[in-house]
Amino acid sequence: MKLFTALLIIFTIQSCSQDSKNKNTNNKITSTQIENEIHQKKDSSFVLYNIKDLNFINNLNWDFDNLYLGKSNTKKFEKLDKKLKFRYLYDILRFEDGSRIDKEWFEMDLQAYIVAKLPTINNFQPTIIKVYGTDYSALVLANIRDNKLISGYSIYDLEISGPEFEEDTLIITRPKTFCTFKQNKLYLKIMTGTCKPSDNLIQNFTVMENNFTTTIDFSGKIITEKKDSSQYEKKCELDYFQTY
């Protein structure tokens, strides 16, 4: 009888141990599945975080429907649907002359992608959105809270059909914008070049440079101040001013 009781106790302990082991294994599998789902979700809506400048723009690959980082097409940026595109961008984007964009053209032609997020300020998320359209390119800072736009700022919006020409003997380029980010500030350098056409690939440009500081305060208000301007000579190819 004592032997039977002892065997029963051992069997019960082993059964409990095996059940516990199975539960732990199941928990591990569930945890791994969740991690994989999160990983896949991040991959399907790729976003850069805490960027320092706009150098990554040169590595974007747009195929007229999707936007990728690099040529491998493995990191696809999150595309805005029509509803969010209007909500975040319509009141911000303009043509170069300051005129509003036609709603039909905005809806049918423009495509927008969330490409980067800056550190959160207070309870809203500064978000960088890249916009493409026919002969149009833009980059927007949108301060977003609960999928609603608090404020926005166009870092650049350009018609990219080529340089602006003034007569036949002078080329005026479209503005070229460089931007760096630090905490709640954007430092912008905007350059416009003029040159006389020549047969040389390397042109001698007269460059007008303007520098601005844009600050995002804790309420989401955006304040832009012009710091200085300068004019100088620079040798560079025409497409130096046209890469977006």
User: pTM (2 decimals)?
Assistant: 0.77
- At 158-200, the pLDDT tens digits run 887 666 666 667 888 888 999 999 989 999 999 999 998 877 7
Is 31 strand, coil or helix?
Answer: helix
Confidence of residue 95 (pLDDT cuts 50, 70, 90): confident
Closest CA to 90 of 120, 116, 118, 129: 129
Are 214 and 186 in contact by the 8 Å Cβ rule? The answer is: yes
Determine the pLDDT at residue 10: 45
Q: Which residues contact 98 (CB under 8 A, 6 or more apart)?
A: none
All structural domains of the chain with their residue ranges: 43-241
